[in-house]
Structure 1
């Protein structure tokens, strides 16, 4: 019984001594205090800023006719390439508005038409351009958008009558029109993005007013369908946006 009581007293004394010894240890030997991790901040991609870039694709002329005569450019596909530049502003916070100007050079000749009287009319587009506004919705690195605005065409036209080049006049303006389109753009890094886009150009209806034999053949329409892929370098303002929780 005495041995049991002595053992109990020794354990109690040891328990009282250990905390006192721990308190006397230097601060560097103590276990480090637990610190809570900082709250997570998820980065959001910032579309606000200017950009410049280039694109490649194809242009397909509409199925137009001239007084019932099929024109030589119906449905023909031709290669195009060009440049674009613009500016975007992100707000609300997933919406993006912007403006863009672009120009595309077109390879090849979109053909000609031979009238029953032997006259040959050629209308070859050498380039297409546009100045548009756009609005889109962004989620993470993706941006889905629509666009629309002014369009212009660089046309090379000629008329051969009786084997000789002949002056002519048209009722419509084939150089100025309108365009609409839609696309998907993806931000690869903070400064680089890639896109794929469809754009429709319409330059209205035209008909010959001179020379005299041609007005009877009626109207033709000039429109184009363009599919292109492009890449942009973006001069972002202020770096990536940060969402705080």
Structure 2
């Protein structure tokens, strides 16, 4: 009798402990799975502005009056800071191509890249004993425009790498010529010029800044080449050309850092990378 009573008590305690365990399990909250972090999309139109540095080279030669003599080609250059403004639109592809971004843009650089031009000619300066002297002129790259497209690849969520290419034009101002030796003005000049038949290629990165939706940081390098441009030498006293023609071909390289604001940015999207 005692044995049966003992088994009954043991069974009751076992059932009670199992019920308590189940109740405890039911009372514990279930941990929800961690949400998938949203990744930024590059789809949208934007405005950008930044600063950078320009380094340019001018390869030039001179055909003298009458076209009978042409000088050898020499190289001059300059450098300086620039400010860039622009805008464009991007579209991030979908599906299996969701890492790819394509877009178009236009930029303008306000430049102050100063250098020199030393035409391959020597002249006689009155009052200096009739000797021949080489001449120099100050040159300043004042502005450059770009129109092009780009193709990007989302290397990491929030980080876009890209290449771009397109058409470009640039402008130079040029002062009057002076003696390279002593700075005496010679009353002649090759006026400033614009080269609008250029092309450029470049590349860079764009990073989504975490503290403000739609704001990106861009760093970029560009290489631009411009076609040959002919400049007629003129008298600064009369404005009449003297027949000398300088042939100029320009190459320009820039590095810039800009802030990009996508004003109709789509915001974060759930993306699998």
- Normalised-by-shorter TM-score class: 0.7 to 0.9
Preserved CA contact (<8 Å) 2:214 2:267: no
Per the alignment, residue 4 of structure 1 pairs with: 3
Per the alignment, residue 66 of structure 2 pairs with: none
RMSD: 3.5
Per the alignment, residue 152 of structure 1 pairs with: 169
Per the alignment, residue 199 of structure 2 pairs with: 178
TM-score (norm 1): 0.76
Tell me the secondary structure at the aligned position of residue 230 of structure 2: strand
Per the alignment, residue 239 of structure 1 pairs with: 267
Q: Give structure 1 stretches of 5+ with no counterpart.
A: none
Tell me the secondary structure at the aligned position of residue 198 of structure 2: strand
Structure 1 residues 150 and 69: CA distance shift in structure 2, 3 A:
closer
Structure 1 residues 124 and 107: CA distance shift in structure 2, 3 A:
closer
Q: Deviations over 1:175-225 (max 9, x none)?
A: 34222111111112331211211111222112345645423xx63211211
Paired with 1:45 and 1:169, the residues of 2 have a C-alpha distance of 45
2:122 matches 1:116: yes
Tell me the secondary structure at the aligned position of residue 11 of structure 1: helix
Tell me the secondary structure at the aligned position of residue 41 of structure 1: coil
Paired with 1:176 and 1:243, the residues of 2 have a C-alpha distance of 41
Per the alignment, residue 244 of structure 2 pairs with: 214
Preserved CA contact (<8 Å) 1:133 1:148: yes
TM-score (norm 2): 0.69
Paired positions, count: 231
Preserved CA contact (<8 Å) 1:169 1:209: no
Preserved CA contact (<8 Å) 1:43 1:242: yes
Structure 1 residues 14 and 119: CA distance shift in structure 2, 3 A:
closer
Q: Deviations over 1:55-96 (max 9, x none)?
A: 21111112623243645x42x321111212111110020111
